[in-house]
Amino acid sequence: MPKEYIPILLFLLVAISVPVLGLLAGKVIRPGGFFFRASRNPAKLTPYECGVDTEGNARDRYGVRFYIISILFVVFDVETVFLFPWAIIYNKLALFGLIEMLIFLGFLIIGYIYVWQKGALEWV
């Protein structure tokens, strides 16, 4: 076998063994696995809700408003991902970087105002 294939085979070995070892570790450690006995207590099989007895079904549907808020969070969180590197290299970018970021922030502010006008940020 040529020596060029050894790193590829090593990579494949690691790529296959890490998930397999993770799954095996989960099997060994889980309740009812090799080291622990499964609990027969039905209270331990109920969903945990901050120490309070659960009310209703734990798999109830959520309102669409929660999904809208989560999508808005992701959109405006991406803003932070772009702002941090810009803030670090601001001195190197000079005026061009400032104008570029102001345009970017302008689009985000327009989007924020649009969302605010549509009432997506109101909970009542």
Number of domains into which the chain is organized: 2
- Assess whether 34 and 82 both reside in one domain: no
Helix (H/G/I), strand (E/B), else coil: 59: coil
What are the helix (H) ranges across the chain? 6-29, 64-88, 90-118
Asked if 6 and 31 sit in the same domain, the reply is: yes
Please, which pLDDT band fits residue 71 given cuts at 50, 70 and 90?
Answer: confident
Q: Are residues 6 and 33 both part of a single domain? A: yes
Q: How far is residue 122's CA from residue 63's CA, in Å, rounded to a whole number?
A: 14
Q: Is the pTM of this model over 0.85?
A: no
What integer pLDDT is reported at residue 60 of this predicted model? 73
Q: How confident is the model at residue 20 (pLDDT cuts 50, 70, 90)?
A: very high
**What is the extent of the structural domain holding 56?**
1-60
Give CA–CA dist 55/9, Å, rounded: 53
* Same-domain pairing of 89 and 48: no
In this prediction, residue 79 carries a pLDDT of: 83
> What is the per-residue pLDDT for 3?
87
Q: Are residues 122 and 81 in the same domain?
A: yes
CATH number of the domain residue 93 falls in: 1.20.58.1610
